[in-house]
Structure 1
Amino acid sequence: MVFSRVLGVGYVRELSEQVLRWAAGAVGGDVRVAAVTGLRQGANPWLVEFEPAGRVEAAVLRLGDPADPGHRQRFATEVAALRVAGDHRLPAAGLIAADLDGAAAGALAVLTTVLPGHSRIPPVASTERLRDMGATAAALQAVPLPPRAALPLRSRSISDVDFAAQRREKGTTALMTAAEERLERLPAPGGPTVFVHGDLWFGNTLWSGDRCTGLVDWDCAGAGSPGIDLGSARFDAALMFGLPAAEEVLAGWQRAAGRRAEQVAYWDVVAALGTLADMAFCVPALHDQGRPDLDADLLGQRRDAFLRTALHRLDAGQA
């Protein structure tokens, strides 16, 4: 999903001495901070490098506002998700330390290990890359997870953003309205809940060649249907590379999961409705990820093609 939530984005443009001391203390070994580099538009989150180089040469530091209840919830979710991912050896950064009330660091803070790879999105994706995206989503669905306070029940990606309300305010399309009405007439798929990332798009993945080396930005994670992450990954592939790419993601998911995915068309519609009518809202994030070729018109055309296909499959009774 291209409306990625970045923890604390815009909250901190410079790092205080207090937070630098906290980060160095969390690493331990009498190290000091040697350099910091902003990873998103020159700011939060930060790559923090230490010297002398010891057990941790560098770490990723995310900061947020302790006075903002939304930040506090998302940071708690991020930490809980990283712990679940670590327990199940999923491709995620290791948690070094967290300050979830800001008392020690002077801000909400999460310090994690650095994953290999990069998140730049190529203009063309190989079959191997697309199928590995599906396999990555399948790895999460293998972890049963009942809802809990920090990892609540999720029914869609980026569940703290009400896209339907924003469309009512800013304008919508006949196709998106029809899709909303179609979902309202359908019962939500049931079944046991599993661990979901909750914002699975290519900008939240790291890659070395065509191999996914990790997932980042876990602040929308929770418990939900496997279709949430699969639908999100399929939708993003269609936006980035065209409609056939979504089928390769599905093929990779099914091969890794060892079973057929269920209710694919339903979750495709859910994923496509996690946007605004005017796709200009996500263009800056995509350009920042290396895709200046994508504009609002092309993204809108691809979104609508994906959504029409999903609605046709629903009407035809296809999974």
Structure 2
Amino acid sequence: MTDVSPTRDQLIWVLQLVGGDGIADVTPLKLGGSPWLVRWTGGDGGGRAVLHLGDRTDAERQARAETAMPIADQHGVPVPDVLGSRLDDESAMLLIEWIDGRSTRPVEPDVERIEALGAMAAVIFRANLGGVRLAEVTRPIDGVDFAAMRAAHPHPLLDEAARRLDGAPPEGPTGLVHGDLWSGNALWNGDDLVAVIDWDCAGVGPAGVDLGSLRLDAALAWGPEAAEHVLAGWEREAGERAADVAYWDAVAAVNTPPDLGWFVEGTVDALGRPDLTRELMVQRRDAFLRDALQRLDAER
């Protein structure tokens, strides 16, 4: 995604979609760039929407979101409505409904919320795709080359884990996966989960892609015990035991920057948790990965 502000022509397109009279303001929602919160004026009092703005290389990922979100919505996942999309010679745009909610999380773990996110991963996975074709997903955030990051900044534990995970994933059923499911992509209004956002990594894959991602996120935020609450929520909603948990935990940990870089920045920004320092989160990530590898050894 781009940090370049929407152009006049792009904002006119937004107004045409929503029936607004004029743009009131445009505000970046993530680290100074896309997506953008667009407010408009009009006879009905105006409104707000979220504009995902990128170049043509972002078109495929925006298409994944545009395809997956209505499917998820039909199966009980709270998602914003897609208002429109546009692809031209220079840019790719996706306009979605603004949902009033927050992703900030407390310093102490909220077990009910953590379990609710685990349950939501199971709801997403069992959505009926109805013959719709989506990209195959076998790891979180599949648009980022984490292998290149490890090559540039070697990390012995990550390197060892990547070698052990090399090859085909465990066999099992596939379904809809979000592909970047973590607490920063969940919006809450009080105790209600009102939206799951940022679907540009969505596709078809094993349930462990989202389950491992959520378990790692919980461990980073609150320690290893929190990851078990994610699993409890998933298994209660799914009505069965999750398969290959250790493998997918390791996959989630390997698919992070070696020093956690923008993972730390995103967590502090989205969750309002300045207590989560880089050093603490790297320590927790590495401990989570070591435990996953030990469980993998025990299973073999």
Q: Which residue of the partner structure matches residue 130 of structure 1?
A: 114
Alignment match, 1:17: 8
1:70-100 C-alpha deviation (Å, 9 max, x unpaired): x12112212112232233342111001111x
Name the structure 2 match of 1:159. Answer: 142
Distance 1:148 1:296, change over 3 A: same
Residue 22 of structure 1 aligns with an amino acid whose one-letter code is W
Alignment of 1:141 onto 2:125: yes
Code of the aligned partner of 2:153: K
- Find the counterpart in structure 1 of residue 276 from structure 2: 294
Aligned-partner Cα distance in 2 for 1:152–1:62: 20
Q: Deviations over 1:134-192 (max 9, x none)?
A: 0111111111448966x21111011122212321221112x2233223223x7522233
Q: 1:82 to 1:56 in 2, by over 3 A?
A: farther
The structure, 1 or 2, with the larger RCO (C-alpha pairs under 8 Å, 6+ apart) is: 1
- Unaligned residue ranges in structure 2 (runs of 5+): none
Q: Please say which of residues 43-52 and 90-99 is displaced more in the overlay.
A: 43-52
Which of 222, 244, 247 is the matching residue for 1:263? 244
CA contact (8 A) 1:144 1:192 kept: no
Aligned to 1:49: 39
**Structure 1 residues 313 and 33, CA, compared in 2 at 3 Å: closer, same or farther?**
same
Q: Which runs of 5+ in 1 are unaligned?
A: 1-7
Distance in 2, Cα, partners of 1:147 & 1:271 = 28
CA shift, 1:236, in A, is 0.5
What is the match of residue 63 of structure 2?
Answer: 76
Q: 1:146–1:298: structure 2 CA closer, same or farther, 3 Å change rule? A: farther
What is aligned with 1:272? 253
Question: Could you tell me whether the CA contact under 8 Å between 1:145 and 1:223 is conserved in 2?
Answer: no
TM-score between the two structures when normalised by the length of structure 1: 0.86
3-state DSSP class of the match of 1:245? helix
Check the 8 A contact 2:150/2:158 in 1, yes or no: no
Out of 70, 81, 92, which is 1:108 matched to?
Answer: 92
Q: State the distance in 2 between where 1:164 and 1:65 align.
A: 24
Q: How does 1:1-319 map to 2 (within 5 A)?
A: 8-10=1-3, 12=4, 14-28=5-19, 31-52=21-42, 54=44, 57-66=47-56, 69=57, 71-99=58-86, 101-102=87-88, 107-145=91-129, 151-173=134-156, 175-184=157-166, 187-289=168-270, 290-317=272-299
1:281 is displaced (CA, Å) by 4.1
Instruction: State the shift of 1:205 in Å.
Output: 1.2
Q: CA deviation at 1:52?
A: 2.3
- Of 127-136 and 49-58, more deviation after overlay is shown by 49-58
1:266: how far off?
0.8
Q: Do 2:219 and 2:284's aligned partners in 1 also have CA atoms closer than 8 Å?
A: yes
Q: Secondary structure at the match of 2:165?
A: helix
- Residues 160 and 147 (structure 1 numbering): CA distance in 2 closer, same or farther, change over 3 Å? farther
TM-score w.r.t. structure 2 length? 0.92
Quote how far apart the aligned CAs of 1:9 are: 3.5
Cα distance between partner residues in 2 of 1:89 and 1:131: 17
Q: What amino acid is the match of 1:223?
A: V
Contact 2:15 2:40 in 1 (8 A): yes
RMSD over aligned CA atoms reads 2.2
Instruction: Sort the Cα spacing of 1:142 and 1:53 in 2 relative to 1 into closer, same or farther, 3 A.
Output: farther
* Alpha-carbon spacing, 1:122–1:258, altered in 2? closer, same or farther (3 Å): same
Cα deviation for residue 33 of structure 1 reads 2.4
Q: Shift of the alpha carbon at 1:16?
A: 2.0
Between stretches 207-216 and 53-62, larger displacement belongs to 53-62
Q: Identity of counterpart residues, as a percentage?
A: 43
The superposition leaves residues 34-64 of structure 1 with CA deviations (integer Å, 9 ceiling, x where unpaired) of 3322212344212222222649722111111
Q: d(CA) in 1 for partners of 2:155 and 2:132?
A: 34
Residue 286 of structure 1: how far off its partner (Å): 2.0
Q: Give the counterpart letter for 2:264 in structure 1.
A: V
Letter in 2 for 1:27: V
Cα distance in 1, alignment partners of residues 123 and 42 from structure 2: 37
